[in-house]
Chains A and B, each alone.
Chain A
Amino acid sequence: MRHALTQHLLVLRTALHRIFSSRLGGFFNILVIGIALSLPAGMYVLLQNVQGLVTQLSGTPQISLFLSMDAKSDDIDRLRRQLVQHPAIARVEFVARADALAQLKQSTGLADVIGGLQQNPLPDAFIVYPKSGEAQALEALRNELAKLSKVELAQLDSTWAYKLEALLSFGRILVLTLAGLLSLALVAITFNTIRLQILTQSSEIEVSKLIGATNSFIRRPFLYFGAAQGLLGGIMAWFIITIGLVLLNHQLKALSLLYASQFMLHPMSFGDSISLLLFSMYLGWLGAWLSVARHLSQIEPR
């Protein structure tokens, strides 16, 4: 057992030696694989981030009910009771028109303009927090609330989030397509690298076959090489993505300061990183396997 393990370690060492002994060529291969992988994986990370932002913002969908200007406090009390008793509503918040104006003055720096107004143009409003976050249920609830008396306008605040969500699923399909195509490219790169290796080592393969090497013995270093190259390419992709995110975050910091928000791009999660590495390793192995299966049988001793 220990013995078999040392054999495998020896083969792995040979494979790694082959990568590093052809310094520039090996490095370029790894770079190409890294870039090919970093495109879909990087887009995926960006999507994840935007997705996180969307759920954060639209996590509690709201419906704003703007009342007509002639609503009296009786009407408001009646409405409040109706809303609180409604089975689909979790919570209700009342925003008086005076408060709304004060808030507007404070947060937008339009104090001068607002101060010059003859009267408060804002209506009283209710902010309704529904129990369900489902798009259809929200729409139905909005329609129902819009028909209540003294309600001028019922507005679903999270419509934009659903539009963004639709855009995100489009992006997800784009990432998948790109990942599929570039994975094929990775397999092709490994296939070709291994093909060249088999050609340059044809004499070793021939001699090995003549002195009793099994096919799996001959195959092994090539498979290890493919897997190792794939893994190194995956690590390269990970670094490209991480460095890219750091650079983007640097820019975002300035931008989000302007908007007084704290938005930062999160790096690739640990699980996703491991998945990326395993996947790229598997693709390298697959390319090597295909190449070996295709080319090794062509070298028969005569």
Chain B
Amino acid sequence: MINFNQVNKRYPGGYQALKNLSLNIAEGEMVFITGHSGAGKSTLLKLIAAIERPNSGSVLVNNQNVGVLKERALPYLRRNLGIIFQDHKLLFDRNVFDNVLLPLQICGFDHRESAKRVRAALDKVGLLKREKSHPIALSGGEQQRLCIARAIVNRPSILLADEPTGNLDAAYAQEIMAIFKSFHQVGATLLISTHDTSVLQDTRVRTIDLKNGELQSTPVSGPT
């Protein structure tokens, strides 16, 4: 489903974020990307969403080389992805409901169908009772869950999460992980980057460890 083939990414200014990276993620897999900060975790996710483009090598998503995708085609790639951003990127000028509604408005869903889907997504992350609240009134964990609701409302086949448990305490982090696992169970492909290996202790999932932009260990696949 997702294929990296000898990918190099160098940022303007000379910083080499990824070095000759090759990996393969199958449909329905749940993969953790670990590594120190600056190891290239975010860059890897950004390349999948074509937010960044590789300097060499190819990134295939559903057999489509997203590295050379035309500007015009980008929106349609991104509609198949659910992205949970490290900095949330919530909109503070509207309430919880409207934040989750945005992806559906963009895709042009009609109003009644949208409302149904928004409530379903909010229910899944446990924010149904807060739909009228403004994001500023939510706790850090709730904001994170809102971000997840927005990413899944479109029912994407691939979910990318950049440090979703970044600054949450252990209990919240476990809660979030439980939500991700439930998506995995219904067949979504998940890529979750984290520097916090403690959340992985009780799970046996494939881990991709990055160090200075290179694969650190052979990926181990395990049953979940």
Contact = CB atoms under 8 A, between A and B. Distances in A.
Q: Does A associate with B in a complex?
A: yes
Interface of A: 3-4, 6-7, 10, 203-204, 206-215, 217, 301-302
Nearest to A217: B106
Contacts of B106: 208, 211-214, 217
Nearest to A204: B91
Q: Across chains A and B, which 4 residue pairs bring their CB atoms closest together, nearest first?
A: A212-B79, A212-B78, A213-B106, A212-B75
Contacts of A4: 108
Interface in B120-167: 150, 154
B78 A207 contact: no
Contacts of B85: 210
A302 B52 CA distance: 7
Contact of A211 (B52, B72, B93, B102): B102
Interface residues of B, number: 26
Given A207-B102, A208-B102, A213-B106, A6 B111 contact: yes
Contact of B78 (A203, A204, A211, A215): A211
Contacts of A212: 74-79, 81, 103, 106-107, 154
Contacts of B102: 207-208, 211
Contacts of B154: 211-212
Contacts of A217: 75, 106
A99 B74 CA distance: 91
A126 B187 CA distance: 105
B167 to A, nearest CB: 20
A207 B75 contact: no
Contacts of B168: none
Given A213-B75, A302-B51, A207 B108 contact: no
B188 to A, nearest CB: 16
Contacts of B76: 212
Nearest to A3: B110
A210 B79 CA distance: 9
Interface string B1-12: 000000000000
A209 B93 CA distance: 17
A208 B103 CA distance: 8
Contact of B93 (A204, A206, A214, A215): A204
Contacts of A204: 91, 93
Contacts of A211: 78-79, 83, 102-103, 106, 150, 154
B135 to A, nearest CB: 12
Interface in B38-83: 49, 51-52, 72, 74-79, 81, 83
Given A210-B51, A210-B85, A212-B75, A7 B108 contact: yes
A246 to B, nearest CB: 43
Given A3-B110, A212-B103, A301 B51 contact: yes
B89 interface: yes
A207 B107 contact: no
Nearest to A297: B71
Given A203-B91, A212-B74, 5 more contacts: A210-B49, A211-B83, A212-B75, A214-B106, A217-B106
